[in-house]
Amino acid sequence: METMMAIRLQDYGGPESLVYESAPRPTPGDHEILVRVRAAGVNPVDWKFCAGWMRERLLVDLPVVPGLDLSGTVVAVGRLARNWRVGDEVFGRTSLGGHGAFAEYAVAPADAFARKPPHLDHVHAAAIPTAGLTAWQALFGQEGANRGLEPAPGRRILVHGGAGGVGSFAVQLAKWKGAQVLVTGRAENGPFLRGLGADVVIDRESARFEDIAGVVDAVLDLVGGETLDRSLQVLSRGGAIASAVGSPSVEQAAERGVRIVPLWARTVPAQLERLATLVGDKVLRVVVSEVLPLAHARRALELSRGGQVRGKLVLEIGG
């Protein structure tokens, strides 16, 4: 049996339940590819998964390798995964509870990847998938399905949690489309958020956003709780709200004439390619605040759980 070094979750719990150890190297099924992982992006869903938030829905057998986002090189291709060849450089997403990204090798569905262009290194490519797709789908909708928040000139969009992974993409994409972008965050993130294109930064610790934002056309909520509940008050009739964290009240939204944009990030390779192109065109910057070695995944998840990560954390794997 071939082995690899991996981070494995032995039992549900905090990041301390993660162990860096030797594990069997997975083999791809018919529609899958085996990727030599060069970098794995870290998302809040990783620590939530490890803490058992999805254990009843996913019914995963432990131990399991966590991690969703990765960039690497294809080393084996399933019998029916004809879109990739050995040696292709790809970035994309594994499945939650499957053979995760926090390992030297990962198996994932072949249709959950895009080609990694040469202008993107593995670290920056691995930082894109979940956060970039969530921002894209919130703003522009899911391919052929719902409408997004539709940033455009003359439209005011409020982003809660703009300094994080999803937010750092969303602020830039909304600005690219010409919207006026308002963002909530800690005061110390003000210059960073303005650098991403925020027109107005609201210090969430010293002010209530309702007192400063005025009326907005759209809200992207990346925080949840009472921030989400209070957001309906600042939306114009005909406005739209998307939350990556909670469910806006359907009754209150209907009462106020606000459209709810459903948001659950799906892996759409064409959108990954579009995001990568925008990075190449210098429209979009992938903000990576820290790169850690695979063995330090525990630390990365602790930081993520702390809720103050600026941009993205990425694990770099192998030389």
Which residues would be at the binding site for ligand NAP (CB under 6 A)? 43-45, 130-131, 134, 160-161, 163-167, 184-186, 189, 204, 222-223, 227, 244-245, 263-265, 304, 307-310
Q: Write the single-letter amino acid at 160.
A: H
- Residue 211's alpha-carbon distances to 23, 113, 242, in angstroms, are 53, 43, 21
Between 177 and 186, CB nearer to ligand NAP:
186
221 SS3 class: strand
120 or 159, CB closer to ligand NAP?
A: 159
Taking the CA atoms of residue 55, residue 57, residue 59 and residue 60 in that order, the dihedral angle to the nearest 10 degrees is -70
Least distance in angstroms from the C-beta of 150 to ligand NAP: 19
171, 175, 307 from 192: Cα distances, Å? 11, 15, 16
The residue among 100, 105, 110, 104 whose CA lies nearest residue 79 is: 110
Q: How far is the CB of 175 from ligand NAP (least distance, A)?
A: 17
| Closest separation in Å from C-beta 268 to ligand NAP | 12
Q: Report residue 18 as tokens.
A: 């993660």
Which residue in 24, 4, 27 sits closest to 81, CA to CA? 27
Nearer to ligand NAP, 36 or 230 (CB): 230
Q: Closest approach of Cβ 135 to ligand NAP, in Å?
A: 9
For ligand NAP, give the closer residue by CB, 74 or 170.
170
For ligand NAP, which is the closer residue by CB, 155 or 160?
Answer: 160
Min dist. Cβ of residue 126 to ligand NAP (A): 13
- Comparing CB distances to ligand NAP, the nearer of 17 and 134 is 134
Q: Which residue is nearest to ligand NAP (CB)?
A: 164
Q: How far is the CB of 31 from ligand NAP (least distance, A)?
A: 23
Question: 15: which DSSP letter?
Answer: G
Asked if residues 294 and 5 have their Cβ atoms less than 8 Å apart, the reply is yes
Instruction: Report in angstroms how near the CB of residue 248 gets to ligand NAP at its nearest.
Output: 13
Q: How far apart are CA 296 and CA 309, in angstroms?
A: 16
Nearer to ligand NAP, 187 or 215 (CB): 187
Encode burial over 153-183: b for 16+ CB neighbours within 10 A, e otherwise: eebbbbbbbbbbbbbbbbbbbbbebebbbbb
Q: How far is the CB of 25 from ligand NAP (least distance, A)?
A: 29
Spatial distance between the Cα atoms of 108 and 98, rounded to a whole number of angstroms: 8
CB of 35 or CB of 222, closer to ligand NAP: 222
Residue keyed to tokens 């107005």: 200
What minimum distance in Å lies between the beta carbon of 273 and ligand NAP? 19
Is 162:170 a contact under the CB 8 Å cutoff? Answer: yes
Is residue 100 within 8 A of residue 43, CB to CB? The reply is no
- With respect to ligand NAP, which residue has the nearer C-beta, 37 or 198? 198
